[in-house]
Amino acid sequence: MSSVASAPAAATGESEWVESRLVASLMRTTYTSQLMGIAVIPILFGVLADDAPLRWLVAWVLAATAAAAVRGWVLHRFATTVVHETAAAQLAFFRRWRISFPAVALVWGLTMPLFFDDAPLGDQFVCWLMVAGMAMFATITMAAELTTLRLFLDTLMLSSLAHILWHIGFERPLHGPYQYWVALLLVLFWAVLREAGRRLHVTLRRNFELQYRNAQLIESLTRQTQAALDAVAIKNRFLASAAHDIRQPVHALSLYADWLGSEPELVREIAPRIVESTKAVNALFDSLFDLARLESGQVHLRVGPVDLAQLARELELQHGPLAAARGLRLRVHAAPAIAHSDVMMLRRIAGNLLSNAIKYTARGGVLLSLRLRRGVPVLEVWDTGPGIPPGQEQEVFREFVKLPGHGGTEDGFGLGLYIVSRLAHVLGHPLTLRSRVGRGTLVRLVLEPTDAEAAARRAALAVSQLTSMPWVRA
């Protein structure tokens, strides 16, 4: 088994992970005492071959071999299979087979009737050394799991002490003080081993707790470093895309100005183009300012009642001429309803959705619907545009994304729907999208009541949510 503890899993709590590492340490170090116990069995048989009844000695050897075999199987199974499973699975396996440890202790405690006060003192001394060695090795190798260590020591010492006390009380009550001193020394030895095991266990537990916390700290630092790298990457894309998008209208303004200077009589033809280029630059700066405020968390909320019918009329007046100029029909259906939200941010969301729908739609129309659905106001924008290919629905809500081959994207900045998703998240309005290629797209905003405090917290966390925004696919 490897001696390197695995890193804590994200879903594993500290207590469970530490317990699983302690169990793994116990199973790993127990191999030492397991090998020692197997090696001592024939030695003890040889020492007591002339002192103990052969049938009882053989029975003990068979019992000790069987107990060692069972515990050996448990150790092997854990090392080859269970150690690769979850912490919970490791603990469940260990608890199921923990009985194999005190079973070994019981077998060794039963050596006492084979030699105590019957074998020559030299042989008794050798047997006592073997039993004491087993107890000390167990204290060192099993200290990682305190309950198991105590079960082992208690079983070994109680079974040994029980025979000594029975021997004193019933078999040879007047033999002398020797047995009493042995019983007292056994109790003291037992207490010392339990305390030594407890202290060693505390040290091991603290080491694994420290490992867990260090791993959590490293993981946290890794996440923060990755977040910083992501932020830098986004800012680089931000600057590159903004510079690319702003270059064309600014260059056009320069050309128009030169043209107007050299041929002033063309002012009627050039002036509208200058206005369009200026509008494009202003639109870009508006989007960049919105994005900067969102990503700095400096969004000021004014949550209150919003008259949706009035909002629909304002949006129709604002976007109707743009739709008509593109040969589209803008229809507005608004039911009398009140939403609890920030009117400026909601207007910005709806305006971006309408602008996006009109920009993408080459023929047909756009529908703005404000209605009640199960008592909750719902804002929907339908269009008859090209639709969004399957698998790319989420991409349109990322910053600087322009879908290739879609009309209307060449003069955009890829910020509209990104800002919509961010604002919707801040306000707590679930945003969904449904689209069919060649048929059009539906974007739905459920205007659940905005909690001002919760919205302020989400706005303050905007910087940590640079790379993606949660949204729900319909």
pLDDT tens per residue across span 190-231:
999 999 999 999 999 999 999 888 988 898 888 888 877 876
Q: How confident is the model at residue 239 (pLDDT cuts 50, 70, 90)?
A: low
Report the half-sphere exposure of 252 (CA within 13 A, side-chain side): 16
d(CA 392, CA 124): 82
Q: How confident is the model at residue 244 (pLDDT cuts 50, 70, 90)?
A: low
d(CA 28, CA 142): 10
pLDDT of residue 290: 56
CA dihedral 355, 357, 358, 360 (to 10 degrees): 120
pLDDT tens per residue across span 73-132:
999 999 999 988 888 999 999 999 999 999 999 999 998 888 887 788 888 888 889 889
H/E element, 44: helix 14-48
d(CA 397, CA 384): 19
pLDDT of residue 378: 93
CA 102 remoteness from chain centre:
38
pLDDT tens per residue across span 364-390:
899 999 988 888 999 999 999 888 877
Q: Which of 56, 61, 158, 57 is nearest to 105 (CA)?
A: 158
pLDDT tens per residue across span 175-194:
567 778 888 898 999 999 99
Q: Which of 119, 131, 113, 105 is nearest to 48 (CA)?
A: 119
Residue 445 · residue 431 · CB < 8 Å: yes
Residue entry with tokens 């925004």: 469
Please give the share of the chain, as a percent, with pLDDT higher than 70. Answer: 77
d(CA 263, CA 35): 102
Q: Which CATH number fits domain 303-473: 3.30.830.10, 2.60.40.10, 3.30.565.10, 3.40.50.970?
A: 3.30.565.10
| Residues in the chain, overall count | 474
**Mean pLDDT of the 329-345 span:** 87
